[in-house]
Amino acid sequence: MKSYMYFCWLLLLCYTASAQSVAPIIPVPVSASWQAGTFTLNPQTVIQVPAGNKVCRDAASLLASLLAAPTGMRPPIASAAGKYGTIEFRVLPVPDKTLGKEGYNLEVTPRRIIIKAKEPAGFFYGIQTLLQLLPPEIAGSTRAAAKWQMPCVQITDYPRFGWRGLMLDVSRHFFSKEVVKQYIDQMSKYKLNVFHWHLTDDQGWRIEIKSLPELTTKGAWRVPRTGQWWSFLPAQPGEAPTYGGYYTQEEIKEIVQYAADRHITVLPEIDVPGHSLAMLAAYPELSSTGLPYKVNPGSKFYGIEDNALCPGNEKVYTILDQVFTEVAALFPHPYIHIGGDECFKGFWKTCEKCQRCMKENHLQNVEELQSYFIRRMEKMLHAKGKKMIGWDEILEGGLAPDATVMSWRGMEGGIKAAQMNHHVIMTPTQHCYLDLYQGDPVLEPDTYSMLRLEDAYRFEPVPAGVKPEMILGGQGNLWTESVYNQRHAEYMTWPRGLALAEVLWSPKEKQHWDGFVDRMEAHFARFDAAGVNYARSVYTPVVQLEELQGKKAVKITTATADTDVYYSFDNGNPDKYYPVYKQPLPLPEGAYEIRIVVYRKGKRVGEQLNLRIKELENRMKKG
């Protein structure tokens, strides 16, 4: 009898450990206490809500709809518990300062699931965590054959930061309304809550302004080009601008509501005074030169063509007032982003209107002239009930009184703004730019610079010497110069978006790289079920040449634990029967290529990496 009880005890321990392993939650919760047993979703499961409570009923309806397609079961909503399993929504009786508006409690027992929150956002995020407790097939849109069980657990969870965002640039390449919605869907699953929409730039104006129709009839279209960005020919005489698109105001409203239903606010960006060629193509008189420029197709123009609005021209402010009046009416977000970055000011120095404006307003240089422009933008937005955000260049020449700074050129701009008692969103290039390489360039889509997954995960938004309350949060930015379509956008966003979601939601002490990698791998199956493209670049090793006792040697490092690297110098495609890397490899005489594969926990992962020795030598020279 004792041996039988001991066997049952061992079986229970193994089962409990197994249950925990199938619930890899991202972002990791504030606290999670795993228990023995499982809850099984079945056709008799009922969703229970308090009678007459709209917040709970809305949350219950959402959960029922999310369960219906993949499970084939749509639990009924009732005010009484079910006989064979209940999912209950409860409103916390008093405000919980710890949980706040977005926090929740989730309890799973073998017979009952209870989600408790005070606000709709808390219930929504509790639902997202509950779905992550179910098998990966729950992310699909068609009925799947799976055991719809979840491990028993008690979770308390709330975010570290209130601003947890992703930015999508739709100016360089236009993304349809449906693609934008799908991008927002994926964000919501990981508790990201700000969609920064980069709507205008030199390569396209993407938002309908009814009082200024030429912004879209002319500014939304450019000549088509394929190839490497910045290498394209400018628009040629007589060439038709057929590439582009824009969102009507009805589509904007639809997307804003779609996001709001998922507790995501949409931050619009109208990038001024630089990055304005699309606007100037429609209204050339707004530039300092007044020349008839075309919407840029991706050819080099900076410092050659005038892509900045003229801050000495009063018509600029009249036009922008029309633009921001309509933008403010479309977007409930308290902020509007005005860009302010990378403004080439060379043409201002020879512009009569700019020089006159500087003299009349006692401005010493063109940096102060930009600050004059930015301050007028802030007053304009205040008049429309909005607050202003700009990239950290708005610090140059003096910061507008109530501006919030989005720091992208490292952390320095954000530190400076915070020390001046301005709120900051941290989004430094070295941690948050999703358009960069995420693995060895030999295997990646063409771009520039490097942001590996581990660099995104090691992002710390609050730098030393800054009051934490001045840092609203952070976000990842996907610029799309080299990103043409939805599949490419997904590849660049995920899984680096997972890393940033955890950084911005989870407590710092809960963030551990190896644990994140284990949980992330489980979410790859969810991406597969949802049909979302993602990168496996985390498995690609970093390969370098170094000097070893006066000779060149190949050094290989990996980002993941439990990893074995196999290699060949003999033109063969290696597998686990080839030599395993243990230490730097002296370069064999005459070797011209090294081929590498990676195994993690005994399973081959990632792609084979073939690197020419000459390429490694060139990298060595560049440092």
Residues noted as catalytic: 201, 275, 342
Q: How far apart are CA 418 and CA 414, in angstroms?
A: 6
Which residue shows structure tokens 């590498």? 596
Closest CA to 296 of 201, 198, 197: 201
Q: How far apart are CA 390 and CA 340, in angstroms?
A: 6
| CB neighbours of residue 451 within 10 Å | 21
Kindly state the tokens that stand for 75: 């639990």
Q: Are the C-beta atoms of 266 and 333 separated by less than 8 Å?
A: yes
Residues in the chain: 623
| CB neighbours of residue 346 within 10 Å | 14
Residue type, 352: E
Q: How far apart are CA 383 and CA 44, in angstroms?
A: 55
Measured distance between the N- and C-terminal CA atoms of the chain, rounded to whole angstroms? 68
Strands (E), 53-111: 77-78, 86-91, 104-108
Q: Are the C-beta atoms of 523 and 495 separated by less than 8 Å?
A: yes
Q: Are the C-beta atoms of 325 and 381 separated by less than 8 Å?
A: no
The per-residue DSSP string of 454-492 comes to HHHHT--SS-TTS-GGGEEEEEEEE--TT--SHHHHHHH
Q: How far apart are CA 87 and CA 46, in angstroms?
A: 6
Q: Are the C-beta atoms of 301 and 280 separated by less than 8 Å?
A: no
- Residue 458: is it exposed, middle or buried by C-beta count within 10 angstroms (0-12/13-18/19+)? middle
Q: How far apart are CA 299 and CA 606, in angstroms?
A: 34
Q: ∠ CA(405), CA(409), CA(410), 5° rounding?
A: 95
Which residue shows structure tokens 């394929």? 226
Q: How far apart are CA 375 and CA 159, in angstroms?
A: 33
Q: How far apart are CA 313 and CA 286, in angstroms?
A: 7
Kindly state the tokens that stand for 19: 């249950």
Closest CA to 480 of 270, 201, 254, 251: 201
